[in-house]
Structure 1
Amino acid sequence: MLEVENLHVSYGSIKALHGVSLKVPQGSIVTLIGANGAGKSTTLRALSGLVKSNSGTIRYDGDEITRLAPHKIVSRRLCHVPEGRMVFANLTVHENLVMGAYLQKDKAWIAKQTEYVFHLFPRLKERENQAAGTMSGGEQQMLAIGRALLGNPKFLMLDEPSLGIAPLLVKAIFERIVEINKEQGLTILLVEQNANLALDISSYGYVLETGSVLLEGPSADLKANPKVQEAYLGG
């Protein structure tokens, strides 16, 4: 569903990505793992058009989207949940979800999908009229994912969903990610520093190091790799 070939991205004179190539099959969960500064978030930002690539190609759902503006990419149902959640702090939970649905015209679908989000994350239903900025990090992460689901995505990119969240909520959020993948048939590209969790729920993984793909393979193989264990799994 997504194919990236030889992607190069720079921030001024700093080269962030050096020829990253990856594939995400339809209906799968694929993960990018790596240390801070490896280029994981930059990869997602390039895929959603938030940063422009210097060279390389991005093909999504049969079309090249390398030079498309972010709003054009979202309209093709590729949604990005950014690192740090980026909820609208002064808006309520309900208003944040409405913002996620701004491209959707079918009110019945919006209502049904909102109920699905509340089914996934009952805490959001409990806090429907609460300002998003007053919620915990885990609750805001649930809201950020819920808001993206109101965009009717076919492809969902999640950037560090476990960052700064209590372990109990991390487990719940990852269970919901698997549920979304299975129930809604969503293809998911997951960037995550918690490599153990990421490799547990994904079918395939890429290890990024200083802007390049160092290793790739089925998630179970990466988890068993001594180099990956030593560098990323606390082994």
Structure 2
Amino acid sequence: MLELQNLEVAYGSIKALHGISLKVPEKSIVTLIGANGAGKSTTLRAISGLLKARGGSVKYDGEDITNAAPHKIVAKGLCHVPEGRMIFANLTVEENLRMGAYLRKDSAGIKTDTEYCFHIFPRLKERRTQAAGTMSGGEQQMLAIARALMGRPRCLMLDEPSLGIAPILVRAIFDQIVAINKERGLTILLVEQNANLALKISSYGYVLETGCVLLEDTAESLQKNPEVRAAYLGD
């Protein structure tokens, strides 16, 4: 569903991605792991059109979307939940969800999807009229994912969903990421510092280092790899 070929991105004269190639099969969960500054978030931002590629290509569902406008990429069903959540703090939970559906005209479908979001994240239903900025980090992360789901994506990119969140809520969020993948057949590309947790729910993984793919393998094999265990899994 998603394929990068020799993707290059630079910030001014500084190269951030040095020809990254990866594949995300339809209905799979694929994870990118690596240290801070490895290029994980840059990769997602380049896919979603927020950063311009200097070289290489991004293909989504067989179509070249390299450097397409972000709103056009969203309209094709590729949604990005950014690092730091970026919810609309002054809007209520319900208003944030409506913003996620801004490209849609099907009011009945929007209502159904809102109820689905409240079903998978009951805390959001409890806080539907609350200003989003007054919620905890974990609740805001739930809202960021739910807001993306309101766009009816076929492929969802999640950037650091566990960052700054209480462990009990991290588990709940990851359980729902798996549920969304299974129930809706949603393809997921996950960037996550908690490599252990990310690999447990993924089928395949890529290890990034200084803007390059250092290693790729099934998630199960990466979990057993001594180098990966020593560098990213705390062994």
Shift of 1:139: 0.1
What's the secondary structure of 1:6's corresponding residue? strand
Instruction: Determine the C-alpha separation between the residues in 2 that align with 1:133 and 1:72.
Output: 28
2:75 equivalent in structure 1: 75
Letter in 2 for 1:77: G
**Aligned: 1:106 with 2:93:** no
Q: In structure 2, what is the equivalent of residue 154 of structure 1?
A: 154
Partner of 2:174: 174
CA distance in 2, matches of 1:105, 1:64: 27
Distance in 1 separating the partners of 2:82 and 2:67: 20
For residues 104 and 142 of structure 2, the distance between their equivalents in structure 1, rounded to whole angstroms, comes to 20
| Structure 1 CA distance for aligned equivalents of residues 2 and 44 of structure 2 | 12
The one-letter code of the counterpart of 2:130 is Q
Paired amino acid for 1:210: T
| Correspondence for 1:187 | 187
Residue 67 (structure 1) shift = 2.4
CA distance in 1, matches of 2:47, 2:73: 9
Secondary structure of residue in 2 paired with 1:141:
helix
Within 5 Å, which residues of 2 pair with 1:61-72? 61-72=61-72
Q: State how far apart, in whole Å, the 2-side matches of 1:115 and 1:147 are.
A: 12
Q: Is the 8 A contact 2:207 2:216 kept in 1?
A: yes
Number of residues of Structure 1 aligned to a counterpart in Structure 2 = 235
Which residue does the alignment assign to 1:230? 230
Instruction: State the distance in 2 between where 1:85 and 1:216 align.
Output: 27
Cα distance in 1 for residues equivalent to 2:224 and 2:126: 41
Post-superposition, which runs of at least 4 consecutive aligned residues in structure 1 deviate over 2 A? Answer: none
User: 1: distance between equivalents of 2:67 and 2:98?
Assistant: 28
Structure-2 residue corresponding to 1:32: 32
Rounded Cα–Cα distance in structure 1 between residues aligned with 2:132 and 2:53: 33
CA distance in 2, matches of 1:132, 1:73: 26
Matched letter for residue 207 of structure 1: V
Report what 2:13 is aligned to.
13
Consecutive unaligned residues in structure 1, runs of 5 or more: none
Partner of 2:20: helix, strand, or coil? strand
Deviations 1:3-59 (A, max 9, x none): 100000000111100010000000000000000000000000000000001000111
3-state SS of 1:143 partner: helix
Query: How many angstroms apart in 1 are the aligned matches of 2:125 and 2:41?
Result: 30
Residue segments in structure 2 that go unaligned for 5+ positions in a row: none
For the residue of structure 1 that corresponds to 2:17, the secondary structure is strand
Alignment of 1:121-136 (within 5 A): 121-136=121-136
TM-score (structure 1 length as normaliser): 1.00
8 A contact 2:46–2:67 mirrored in 1: no
Task: Report the Cα offset of residue 118 of structure 1.
Answer: 0.2
Distance 1:124 1:53 in 2: 36
Cα pair 2:3 2:58 within 8 Å, conserved: yes
Q: CA RMSD in A?
A: 0.4
Distance in 2 between residues matched to 1:161 and 1:69, nearest whole Å: 24
CA distance in structure 1 between the partners assigned to 2:172 and 2:72 by the alignment = 32
* 1:132-185 Cα distance to aligned partner (Å, 9 max, x none): 000000000000000000000000000000000000000000000000000011
